[in-house]
Amino acid sequence: MSLFHPTVALRKVTDISPALLRQLEIDAILLDVDNTLAPPTSKIPYEGVKEWIERIQASGVHIVICSNNYKKRIQPFAESLGLDCVSMSLKPLPFGFNRAKRKLREKPKSVLVVGDQIYTDVLGANLAGMRSILLEPRSEEHGFSIWLRRRMETGKRKKIRLLNGGNHHVSQGNQSH
Ligand SMILES: [Mg+2]
């Protein structure tokens, strides 16, 4: 399976249900921030995110934030949601994921990466042998580097949607742990 294919593709983070996580046997999530939990630079999460985090944690799954953005942006945001975090994580490289895993109270059996970018979140998860959920980008973004990455993603997202039968729901693409 391609290094660019997520385990599952969904529209938004709140579409991830405790039942899906049980099905995938996930006990920890490494969670992206920008365009996953909130618009880039915004301190206010998307609607339902706070409640979703509580629901997932109540189901016994641990959550650590793992973002490539700066500490100044990520730490206060994570604290406002009561979550531990790793900033400047250098996804798709494995260092940030390893730092995030060390923040979990128990050694996780099966870790899931959740984010909106193929070239950081999904590629990083596949390189680290972890599973991933790819979300649709939700907010307008500006700047050349993100424009380029989004352009590079276009064909791959189409293919992922085709694998999903034309919608955003569950594909069982990459089952490697
Ligand atoms: Mg993101």
Domain 8-163 has CATH 3.40.50.1000: yes
Percent of the chain topping pLDDT 90: 75
* pLDDT-based confidence at residue 105 (cuts at 50, 70, 90): confident
Is a pLDDT exceeding 80 seen at residue 81? yes
How many angstroms separate the alpha carbon of residue 116 from the centre of ligand 1? 5
How many angstroms separate the alpha carbon of residue 30 from the centre of ligand 1? 12
Higher pLDDT, 175 or 77: 77
How confident is the model over 72-100, as a mean pLDDT?
97
Q: 């990520």: which residue's tokens?
A: 74
Residue type, 37: L
Task: Name the residue ranges covered by the structural domains of the chain.
Answer: 8-163
How many angstroms separate the alpha carbon of residue 125 from the centre of ligand 1? 14
How confident is the model over 109-136, as a mean pLDDT?
95
pLDDT of residue 170: 52
How many angstroms separate the alpha carbon of residue 115 from the centre of ligand 1? 6
**Nearest of 23, 5, 11 to residue 163 by alpha carbon:** 5
What CA–CA distance (Å, rounded) separates 46 from 39?
8
* pLDDT-based confidence at residue 174 (cuts at 50, 70, 90): very low
How many angstroms separate the alpha carbon of residue 40 from the centre of ligand 1? 8
**Nearest of 173, 142, 160, 155 to residue 11 by alpha carbon:** 160
Q: For residue 92, is the peptide bond before it cis, meaning its omega torsion is within 30 degrees of 0?
A: yes
How confident is the model over 76-98, as a mean pLDDT?
97
Sheet bearing 131-135, strands edge to edge = 8-10, 131-135, 111-115, 28-31, 62-66, 84-86
How many angstroms separate the alpha carbon of residue 68 from the centre of ligand 1? 8
Cβ proximity of 121 and 115 under 8 Å = yes
